[in-house]
Amino acid sequence: MSGIREIDPKRKILHITAPVSKGSSGGPVFNKNGEVVGIATFLIEEAQNLNFAMPVNLIKDKISVKKVTALNDTEIEDYKKTAEYWFYVGFYLGDAGLYKEAVGTFKQAFKIKPDYAEAYFYLGVIYIFLDMYKEAIEALKQAIRIKPDTDEPNSYLGAAYWKSGMYKEAIEASKQAIRINPYNAGAHINLGDAYLSSGRLSEALEACKQAIRLDPYNARSYMTLGMTYWSLLMHEKAIGAFKEAIKLFEINPAEYKYKRQERAFAHWALGRLYLFTGKRGLALEQYRILKELDPEQAEMLFNLIYK
């Protein structure tokens, strides 16, 4: 079993990695002790290892040692008729990096449940990954309209505005997320990005430091911190920030499996900063690493080194 996923406060499903084929629905799912913990329910064909089961406690009251009930007489819910089914299909497609495929499944969820705030939120996140920022902004606004007192949609709205070049709006959305939840490190990072892009460097610096205090293991905080120090011409501190970001990328490869571009930029920036500070040999080390990550950026750095 990979994890327990909450559909709503009263219902959960099991995410399992054991293979599930068509026709297996209703079959028992065992734990390592040979105990039945679930009933196989559905799978997502578009992605590997995305198989699901109902927890056995949902039907345990239907099971009796004195009576065997035929499988087609049990009250197993047809998840494909629920908005929650399509939400989780979209969620796991997105988690697998199949962003375009995920969009349609979230839209299917809306047809069944028009005011599904969580589905609008994750659709907005998927649109950000697809660089469709206008669509992301609209989806996230819908999530906020339905549930205005949740911080994550406001935080991601700040990110979408920032990526769209709408820095004032990005600042306001990020601040709203922080008002709702002052401990949302991502909102502080987004606020730092917006401040940096607006040239408000001292405020960007404070936002980055606050994000790191809240979550010292998020590489993005150090990336923005490095760019802020660079803009302030504090090159040694910028080098330290980018080195910390790279360390976190290496420590958490699974978390950043879709962040190859960000990792490459960190190495490129570090190479540039080494050149600024006269460390040509260290810049060459970054070039060698970049050749594997991003040959185009590696070539740019190489040309700067030998200019």
Over residues 238-296, the pLDDT tens digits come to 999 999 999 988 876 554 444 778 889 999 999 999 999 999 999 999 999 999 888 99
| Beta carbons within 8 Å of 306's beta carbon, 6+ residues apart | none
The average confidence (pLDDT) of the chain is: 81
**Closest to 249 measured CA to CA, from 269, 229, 234:** 269
pLDDT at position 1 = 46
Q: The domain 1-69 is classified under which CATH number: 2.40.10.10, 3.10.105.10, 3.30.470.30, 3.40.50.300?
A: 2.40.10.10
Distance CA 167, CA 207 (A): 15
pTM (two decimals)? 0.74
Sorted by where each begins, the domain ranges of the chain are: 1-69
pLDDT at position 262 = 86
Residue-wise pLDDT for 42-52, tens only, equals 544 444 455 55
Measured torsion, CA atoms of residues 70, 76, 78, 79, in degrees rounded to the nearest 10: -140
Q: How far is CA 134 from the centre of its chain?
A: 19
Phi, psi (rounded to 5 degrees) for 8: -150, 175
**Closest to 276 measured CA to CA, from 295, 304, 251:** 304
Helix axes 151-163, 185-197, angle to 10 degrees: 20
Instruction: Tell me how crowded residue 200 is: count the other CB atoms within 10 A of its CB.
Output: 17
Residue-wise pLDDT for 164-218, tens only, equals 999 999 999 999 999 999 999 999 999 999 999 999 999 999 999 999 999 999 9
Phi, psi (rounded to 5 degrees) for 199: 80, 10
